[in-house]
């Protein structure tokens, strides 16, 4: 029996490679997409690097040309990734509360009570509509191939050399971890596209990139759906749904509690 592949620096590209192991992945996705196209149904991205000025930037961090699907190593990581906008809105309330001499908790209670009195949903809460329109999906991840760990020092060093001039033009004279964890999609999509275009030491192409969630909750993968981009049917090594679960469970409540997010009650989807 041959030994299982181990993480290593690719002698051809210089990237740090992590072997696929077929472990469970988790994804929180909108039902309107998964019901019609499955767990890997996402929009097709057409731009990497700087966007034309007239276009809003809705790209994921490591989107490339084509389809990029994001997964997490555990349910809490998946929820932390998709609830960040609620957390940002919650944190931003501090200035408004300070301006009228209230604590954030008092401010939220006052404004929330006014909303309820006027027949509206409480603002800054995770709404029933948000919960009902999404599901938590357990997924069988690829069992063969390699992930490029984009936030490993070997990968950073190689990317910093390979893309020195385009990174400089994007305002990054020296690539560090902040370049992979920041919100500058002109930079992160440029990095991802370069990785996607490389051939690894064994002649295979990267599955995608592995990275640490900037929320601190775990590990994520950005998987590139090469077969769909080439007009082919899904392959045996593609991610596949194992189970579909309601949003409101232990993992969801853990993250909303950690971030002090109010959750509006709703009924289960099934």
pLDDT at 63: 98
Query: Does position 105 have pLDDT exceeding 90, yes or no?
Result: no
Q: 């057409």: which residue's tokens? A: 46
pLDDT at 1: 55
Cα 192 to Cα 269: distance, rounded to the nearest angstrom: 36
**Mean pLDDT, rounded, of the chain:** 91
pLDDT tens per residue, range 202-261: 999 999 999 999 999 999 999 999 999 999 999 999 999 999 999 999 999 999 999 999
Query: Does position 123 have pLDDT exceeding 70, yes or no?
Result: no
pTM: 0.90
Burial status of residue 122 (CB atoms within 10 A of its CB: 0-12, 13-18, 19 or more): middle
Q: What is the dihedral of CA 218, 163, 224, 37, to 10 degrees?
A: 100
Cα 50 to Cα 33: distance, rounded to the nearest angstrom: 27
Cα 59 to Cα 48: distance, rounded to the nearest angstrom: 9
List, edge to edge, every strand of the sheet that includes 16-19. Answer: 8-9, 16-19, 146-149, 208-212, 219-224, 68-72, 24-30, 134-140, 240-245
pLDDT tens per residue, range 23-58: 999 999 999 989 888 999 999 999 999 998 899 999
Of all residues in the chain, what percent carry a pLDDT higher than 70?
Answer: 91
Query: Does position 126 have pLDDT exceeding 70, yes or no?
Result: yes
pLDDT at 160: 98
Give the pLDDT band of residue 115 (cuts 50, 70, 90).
low
């Amino acid at each position: 029996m041959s030994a299982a592949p181990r993480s290593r620096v690719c002698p051809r590209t210089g990237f740090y490679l992590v072997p696929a192991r077929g472990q469970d992945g988790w994804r929180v996705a909108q039902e309107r997409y998964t019901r019609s196209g499955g767990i890997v149904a996402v929009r097709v991205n057409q731009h990497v690097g700087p966007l034309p000025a007239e276009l809003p930037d809705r790209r994921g961090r490591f989107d490339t040309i084509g389809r990029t699907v994001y997964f997490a190593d555990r349910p809490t990581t998946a929820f932390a990734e998709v609830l960040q906008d609620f957390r940002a809105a919650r944190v931003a309330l501090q200035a408004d509360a300070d301006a009228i001499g209230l604590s954030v908790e008092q401010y939220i209670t006052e404004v929330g009570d006014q909303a309820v009195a006027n027949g509206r949903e409480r603002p800054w809460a995770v709404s029933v509509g948000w919960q009902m329109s999404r599901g938590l999906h357990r997924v069988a991840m690829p069992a063969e191939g390699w992930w490029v760990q984009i936030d490993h020092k070997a990968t950073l060093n190689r990317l910093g050399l390979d893309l020195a001039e385009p990174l400089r033009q994007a305002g990054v004279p020296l690539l560090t971890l902040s370049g992979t964890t920041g919100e500058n999609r002109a930079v992160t999509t440029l990095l991802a596209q370069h990785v996607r275009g490389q051939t690894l030491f064994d002649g295979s192409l990267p599955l995608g990139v592995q990275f640490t969630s900037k929320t601190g909750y775990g590990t994520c993968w950005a998987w590139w759906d090469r077969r769909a981009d080439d007009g082919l049917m899904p392959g045996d090594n593609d991610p596949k749904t194992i189970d579909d679960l309601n949003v409101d469970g232990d993992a969801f409540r853990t993250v909303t509690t950690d971030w002090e997010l109010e959750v509006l009650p709703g009924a289960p989807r099934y």
